[in-house]
Amino acid sequence: MDSVYQALVDIVGQEHVSNRQEELFIYSYDLGTTEPHRPDYAVIPRTTEEIQEIVKLANKEKVPVVPLGGGLSLAGLAVPFRGGIALDLKRMDSILEVNEKARYAVVECGVSQGQLTSYLERNFPHLTHSEPGAPPTATIAGNVAIHGQGDLAQPYGFNSDMVNGLEIVLPTGEVCKFGSCSIGSGWYTQHPLPDVGLFLGWSGTTGIITKVSIRLFPSKKIRGVGQFVVEDEELVPEIMYKLTHTQMTEDVIAFSQAIPPFASGLQHFTINIVADSEKELEFKHEIVWDDTLGEYIRSGAGGFLGFRSGLQRPQVSKTSDWRKGGGFEYVGAIMPVETYPECYRRGRDISERHDIPYTVLGRCIGAAHAMMFSWTYAFNRADPETIRQAREALHETDDLALELHGTIWKPGLYGQKLVMERLDPNTLNLMKKIKQMLDPNGIMNPGNWEVS
């Protein structure tokens, strides 16, 4: 009898652990192009205490632990490269608190983006959170663990900048809290205590987030999306600068894609505008479309395609069906806004060389402080050749992002290697020390962010 299996059964119960081929198969796969690796166990805990026990067991037995939220990173960040325990956290799905006045929500790590969206819509319609473009099954904790961004990135920045507090199970099994909650003062701020934020961006290699306090923002009664299009990609950066200057927008995205063919080569903008009244909306429309973008419309360089009330979540997964093949993966990188034209041209070139319909997108972060630029490559899951092509394109794009002085967001193993090759040696050394101190047995999501 497998003693680790038995110990896991004792912790979470028979039904919540598996070492059978079916679960091991499913949890070996990422949805992107990363090669699968089988875990030895799949475990679905319900409580922080259970996670503590699992982590202690893993230390004792020197078994890797790979935490998993929605499993939608696409970069293979939850693939158990060295086997061990695939720790699916989606059963930890309670929304613990919504503080209406201080505008934050405390959620367990398995709470999905959609769950919070829906909960707020039903109970606090005047509040919202920054929803990523991922399918709404993506989790809030998983998203902040990889420095995600959402549809409030333009006014408020990265989602990981909206964290008010965390509860973490350390790789050695202790529970730690960070932010105001750590002194029992509620979950309203991450600052101003000594900064020990060693968990965001580490992709689960330094601990397991079990609770997150995330900021909520005002949700206006009317939320809608306006569409604008220009032919010349060189105009995109200045349009982003001008739009952010208005402080009248909520989400500013520029994108271009090969499908449908008639729109190929054009740069489309989606610009979210919100208001509490028709009067406010009218005012914002005037500022955005007339005062700011009017010159492009008048000169014929750009066109206004209309405004539609109601926000529709972009169904990113539809991209997966472009090659009738059920798969896509993208490189996302945080880039200077001024690189948009080159990102578009070089990305389109990479796609075309690999025979993949191109799709690129830049989402403005902050007052054009940066953009998250993504290059997406669809593949056919049933055709290994297209997977290989997509993987090659992704690697070339990782190289490109760094060449254009960008920073790869949630890089997979290949991208991590490129980043670490360029990292300041002292910073790299500090990362190594932190990792060794927190995770002496190297059990947490091994393979990722490993400094040699």
Partner 1 sequence: MTLTDYKYGDVIHRCFRCGYCKFPINWMDVNNCPAYARFRMETYSCGGRLWLTRAWLEGEIEWSDHLADILYSCTACKNCEVKCPLSFNIDILNMMIAAKGEMVERGEVPSPVKEFLENIQRQGNPYGTSRAKRGEWMEGTGIEAYQGQEFLYYVGCVGSYDTRGQETARILGKVLQKAGVSFGVLGNDENCDGNEVKNLGEETLFEMLAEENVAQFQGLGVQKIVTLSPHSYNTMKNDYPGFNGEFEVSHYTQLLQGLIRDGGLDVSGGYNATVTYHDPCFLGRWNEEYNAPRAVLKSTPGVQLVEMARNKDGALCCGGGGGNFYIDLLGGSADSPARRRVREACETGANVLAVACPNCLTMLEDAVKAEGLEDKLAVKDIAEIVGEACGIK
Residues lying near partner 1 in the complex (CB under 8 A): 15-16, 18, 20-23, 25-27, 29, 31, 42, 44, 70-72, 88, 90-91, 93, 112-115, 117-119, 121-122, 135-137, 315-318, 320-321, 324-328, 380-382
In angstroms, give the least distance from the CB of 138 to partner 1. Answer: 9
In angstroms, give the least distance from the CB of 19 to partner 1. Answer: 11
Nearer residue to partner 1 within complex by CB, 56 or 381: 381
Nearer residue to partner 1 within complex by CB, 29 or 289: 29
Please, are residues 164 and 374 in contact by the beta-carbon 8 Å criterion?
A: no
The amino acid at 225: V
Please, are residues 445 and 207 in contact by the beta-carbon 8 Å criterion?
A: no
Nearer residue to partner 1 within complex by CB, 112 or 190: 112
Nearer residue to partner 1 within complex by CB, 65 or 254: 65
The amino acid at 347: G
The amino acid at 354: H
From CA 390, how far away is CA 69, in angstroms rounded?
24
Residue 102: CB partners within 8 Å, gap ≥ 6?
186, 188
In three-state secondary structure terms, 396 is helix
The amino acid at 230: V
Helix axes 340-353, 384-403, angle to 10 degrees: 150
Residue 146: CB partners within 8 Å, gap ≥ 6?
73, 77, 201, 203, 409, 410
Residue 195: CB partners within 8 Å, gap ≥ 6?
none
| C-alpha radius of gyration, the chain, whole number | 22
In angstroms, give the least distance from the CB of 101 to partner 1. Answer: 24
Nearer residue to partner 1 within complex by CB, 243 or 316: 316
In angstroms, give the least distance from the CB of 68 to partner 1. Answer: 9
In angstroms, give the least distance from the CB of 328 to partner 1. Answer: 8
Angle at 184 between CA 178 and CA 188, to 5 degrees: 65
Nearer residue to partner 1 within complex by CB, 292 or 380: 380
In angstroms, give the least distance from the CB of 90 to partner 1. Answer: 7
Nearer residue to partner 1 within complex by CB, 270 or 386: 386
- The H-or-E segment that residue 295 falls in is helix 294-299
Q: Sheet harboring 17-18: ordered strands across? A: 17-18, 41-43, 85-88, 65-68
DSSP 321-338: GTTTSEEEEEEEEEE-GG
From CA 398, how far away is CA 329, in angstroms rounded?
12
Nearer residue to partner 1 within complex by CB, 356 or 431: 356
In angstroms, give the least distance from the CB of 26 to partner 1. Answer: 5
In angstroms, give the least distance from the CB of 13 to partner 1. Answer: 10
